[in-house]
Structure 1
Amino acid sequence: MFTGIVQALGTITSISFNGKGAEISIESKDLDFSDVAIGDSVACNGVCLTVVKLGKNSFVADVSHETIECTIFKYLNPGATLNLEKALTPTTHMGGHIVQGHVDGVGTISSMSRTDNAVDIWINAPEDISRYIAIKGSITINGISLTVNEVKGDAFRLTLIPHTHDITNATMWNVGDKVNIEVDVLARYLERLLNHGHDNKKKSTMTASFLMENGFM
């Protein structure tokens, strides 16, 4: 589990594809590795990866074929910069929102506009996940916890404050770039409650009105 608060930037030093997926090596001089061990999870551009080898300022992770196909890892090469976040602990400040590190789909940046104190970004989402994106809801883009400010069809607008923009790989984003999207996990559970019973055979008696009355929506 993660919070979507990026802790450091990392660089892909090597990536070797094989029949099962890929082995990826990531280096970061800014990430604190003192409490990282083999078997730990690290979010890399929002993708939960398991550390299988550990160096002084680097680690190696295996990436499954499924993960490669569902994320922007299929577009990345050595030298690419990744947002990194270690798995949360019981004492971690919950500054963002609950992030699983399970990317739902790949979006495309359609426009970017900069003002004095922010950067507005429009992203086109895949049709099959756009229904989970709501105004003022949480969303994770390349591992960054952000708030949706506007929704138009399958597109949504984000506003990055200078701090978030400057300490993440958002500084390198351009129109046309692909980004990892993880929707708020609560949206998926709400859909499940509304559409299915516990045995998957009968319609749930849970209604949108009930959820609203009890503070879930």
Structure 2
Amino acid sequence: MFTGIVEDLGTVVGLETGTDFVRLTVDSPTVVTDRTAIGESIAVNGVCLTVTSVRGTAFTADVMHETLRRSSLGSLRRGDHVDVERAMPADGRFSGHIVSGHIDGTGVVASIARDGIATVYTIRAPYALMRFIAEKGSIAVEGISLTVTHVGHDSFGVSIIPHTAAHTVLDERRIGDVVNLETDPIAKYMARLLEMPAGEGTAGVTADTGPITENFLAAHGF
């Protein structure tokens, strides 16, 4: 689990590409020199990857086909910067929000505008993701924990302070660029429960429940 607080702006120093995988090597002195071990989880542009080797100040991770299909990692090139965050320790603090590192899909930067000291990014996203995005809710963009400033039918906005711009890859993104998105995990589970309520024939379920309706809520004291 992650929090969306980027620890380091790493640099891609190695790429081994196969037919359905990428072996990615990232130089990240801030992260690697703090006792990073093989088998640990590290988020790269919001994608949870497993460290397979460590050499000097760089770590290597394998990116499988499912991850390439869901994210933008397949388009990385040597020299590209990436957001890096280690998994949250059990005694750590939530400075951002709950981030699993399991990318839901990608969006496209539609516009970039100044708003005082901040920079506002408007990002187009498919309906399958937009239904989980709410104004003033949380979203991870390229692994960065951000607050949604506005929501439309097919796009949403986030506002970036100068510190975030200076220490993440967002400052390098331009209109038309693809970005990784992870929506609120609680919203996804709620949507799944609503679309597939427990019913007859459900293994291990004995409660006689149906869809949540206004009458159902009233009958249960809500």
The answer to whether the superposition gives a TM-score over 0.5 is yes
CA 1:118–1:40 in 2, change beyond 3 Å: closer, same or farther? same
Mapping 1:150-189, distance limit 5 Å:
150-189=150-189
Mapping 1:25-44, distance limit 5 Å:
25-44=25-44
Write out per-residue CA displacement over residues 176-207 of structure 1, whole angstroms, 9 at most, x where no aligned residue: 11100000101101112222224686974445
Write out per-residue CA displacement over residues 45-81 of structure 1, whole angstroms, 9 at most, x where no aligned residue: 0000000001221100000011112111122111111
- C-alpha contact (below 8 Å) 2:22/2:74 kept by paired residues: no
CA 1:195–1:172 in 2, change beyond 3 Å: closer, same or farther? same
The 2-side partners of 1:122 and 1:151 are apart by: 9
TM-score (norm 1): 0.91
Q: Which moved more, 1:190-199 or 1:117-126?
A: 190-199
TM-score (norm 2): 0.89
* Overall identity of the aligned pairs, in %: 38
Q: Which moved more, 1:67-76 or 1:180-189?
A: 67-76
* Number of the residue aligned with 2:144: 144
Question: How much has 1:127 moved relative to structure 2?
Answer: 2.3
CA 1:189–1:51 in 2, change beyond 3 Å: closer, same or farther? same
Give 3-state SS (helix, strand or coil) of 1:77's partner.
Answer: coil
- C-alpha contact (below 8 Å) 1:108/1:124 kept by paired residues: yes
Mapping 1:1-217, distance limit 5 Å:
1-198=1-198, 204-207=210-213, 210=217
The 1-side partners of 2:192 and 2:162 are apart by: 37
Give 3-state SS (helix, strand or coil) of 1:31's partner.
Answer: helix
The 2-side partners of 1:171 and 1:110 are apart by: 15
Question: How much has 1:15 moved relative to structure 2?
Answer: 0.9
Give 3-state SS (helix, strand or coil) of 1:30's partner.
Answer: helix
CA 1:194–1:17 in 2, change beyond 3 Å: closer, same or farther? same
Gaps of 5+ in 1: none
The 2-side partners of 1:91 and 1:70 are apart by: 31
Question: How much has 1:139 moved relative to structure 2?
Answer: 0.4
Question: How much has 1:107 moved relative to structure 2?
Answer: 0.4
Write out per-residue CA displacement over residues 119-148 of structure 1, whole angstroms, 9 at most, x where no aligned residue: 011000122211111111110000000011
- C-alpha contact (below 8 Å) 1:8/1:28 kept by paired residues: yes
The 1-side partners of 2:98 and 2:7 are apart by: 16
Please say which structure displays the higher CA radius of gyration.
2
**2:184 is matched by which residue type in structure 1?**
D
Cα RMSD after superposing both structures = 2.2
Give 3-state SS (helix, strand or coil) of 1:145's partner.
Answer: strand
Q: Which moved more, 1:29-38 or 1:183-192?
A: 29-38
The 1-side partners of 2:161 and 2:213 are apart by: 37
